[in-house]
Amino acid sequence: MVAILNKHGAGELWIGIAPDGRVVGLEANEKTLRDVSQAIGAHVEPSIYPHIGIVLRNNKTCLHDSAFAVTTAARTGGR
């Protein structure tokens, strides 16, 4: 995510999609959305505010973080 932000300033993150594009899905609920959003916010500097939603693809649940942008270079606090 940080590499995408630094190179393009915006992008998309899909969770539940395999590297080859296959939809594998995952179990997700509102708590999952909060946990992922808080983890991203806590580990990326400067702070970003992800817009994460649950999306059905091929009848499987995936998470989607829509386009996001920062004005200065992002980093992960050493991770």
Tracing tokens 């996001």 back to the chain, one arrives at 68
Please report where in the chains the tokens 């386009």 appear, as a residue: 67
Domains and CATH numbers, the chain: 2-65 (3.30.950.30)
For residue 46, is the peptide bond before it cis, meaning its omega torsion is within 30 degrees of 0?
yes
Tens digits of residue pLDDT in 24-38: 999 999 999 999 888
Put simply, whether the predicted model's pTM sits higher than 0.85 gets the answer no
- How many Å apart are CA 41 and CA 8, to the nearest integer? 19
| Sheet containing strand 13-15, strands side by side | 13-15, 60-65, 52-57
- Residue bearing tokens 């993150």: 13
What confidence tens digit (pLDDT) does each residue in 16-74 have? 999 999 999 999 999 999 998 888 878 887 777 778 899 999 999 999 987 555 555 55
Closest alpha carbon to 59 in 29, 19, 16:
16
